[in-house]
Structure 1
Amino acid sequence: MLKLLSIPAVLAALSGAAMALQGTLNSQLSQKSSLLSSTLIVHILGSIIALGAVVIWKVPLSSHKWNQIPWYLYLGGVLSVAIIALVAVSISKIGVCNATTAIILGQVGMAVLIDHFGLFGVQKISWNPWQLLGLLLFAGGAKLLFR
């Protein structure tokens, strides 16, 4: 129970809340403009904020050995564009609750696989029968949330 109330868990929950809000805002923005143009604008604004943070906190970008980092670790940028677009579309079609429920189910399912196989260099944490039962119960709960 302590892990659930730990600072990292609370921060993760806040991140989830921000993601639901972000998806809603992006969906509304894309309906008032277009999916691709709103995705571009959102990423430009995010890049400006990130650049501002790098400048304010004086993060030394040149001290990193960017060319020695595995290429696939840069795919987060590609996935970010896909996620913004897919979330905006799904929320506009099935609503915030249904889309967020499906998103979380997809996240947890992928997280179990990443942990179990230790993908992308993360610590390998094998699943156990309780986690699989939890995932099944979570999927059942998700089904109850779908309207």
Structure 2
Amino acid sequence: MQSILTLFLVLCAGMGLSVEAGLLGPLGEEVGHLSATLSIFMVGGMLLTLAMVFFGAPLGTLFRQPRWLLTGGVLGPVYVIVLTVTTPLVGVGMTMVGILCGQVAASLAIDHFGLFGSERRAIDGYRVLALAMILMALWLIY
């Protein structure tokens, strides 16, 4: 049951990213791509601040982690800027399938080599087939 709930949450998050792209594209066209990106992080930062106040998430342990673990924060704005710029040019569908293709390819490499402290999961024929099907979807939607 936990696996089904987890899958449902992941699917909802994926749908949320498509909605975010659909909102960011027009917003970026109106106010500028960097301003639209900043708005997403400002709203998110405020919501996370409220959550931390009410749920008492400690920040002390965060800053004792190796600095390289914090570099993921650089990727978020880059991702959102790419969404903001590309969505008006190629549409939400193409943007999301392209992003999905990149995510799956990188995820397979991370799993296969056990990068960043993740558990090693060998790439097998099914995973390669899944990536090939996403590449085919990218080609078909283009």
Query: TM-score w.r.t. structure 2 length?
Result: 0.91
Identity over aligned residues, as a percent?
Answer: 26
Query: Any unmatched runs of 5+ in structure 2?
Result: none
Q: Where does residue 110 of structure 2 map in the other structure? A: 114
Q: Where does residue 131 of structure 2 map in the other structure? A: 135
Give structure 1 regions of 4+ aligned residues with deviation exceeding 2 angstroms: none
Distance 2:126 2:99 in 1: 22
> Which of 19, 22, 25 is the aligned partner of 2:20?
22
| Paired residue secondary structure (1:108) | helix
Distance 2:111 2:129 in 1: 16
Shift of 1:75: 1.5
Distance 2:74 2:35 in 1: 16
Shift of 1:27: 1.4
Q: Where does residue 91 of structure 1 map in the other structure? A: 87
Q: Check 1:84–1:65 CA distance in 2 against 1; reply closer, same or farther (3 A cut).
A: closer
Distance 1:7 1:56 in 2: 25
Q: Where does residue 70 of structure 2 map in the other structure? A: 74
Amino acid at match of 1:38: A
**RMSD over aligned Cα atoms:** 1.8
**Contact 2:112 2:123 survives alignment (8 Å):** yes
Shift of 1:65: 5.6
Q: Which has the higher helix share?
A: 2
**Once the two structures are superposed, what CA deviation does each residue of 1:11-63 show, in whole Å capped at 9, x if it has no partner?**
1110100000011111111111011122112211111110000001122323x
Aligned length in residues: 142
Amino acid at match of 2:26: Q
Q: Where does residue 48 of structure 1 map in the other structure? A: 46
1:60 aligns with 2:91: no
> Which of 87, 98, 105 is the aligned partner of 1:102?
98
Distance 2:73 2:62 in 1: 18
Distance 1:104 1:130 in 2: 17
Shift of 1:98: 0.8
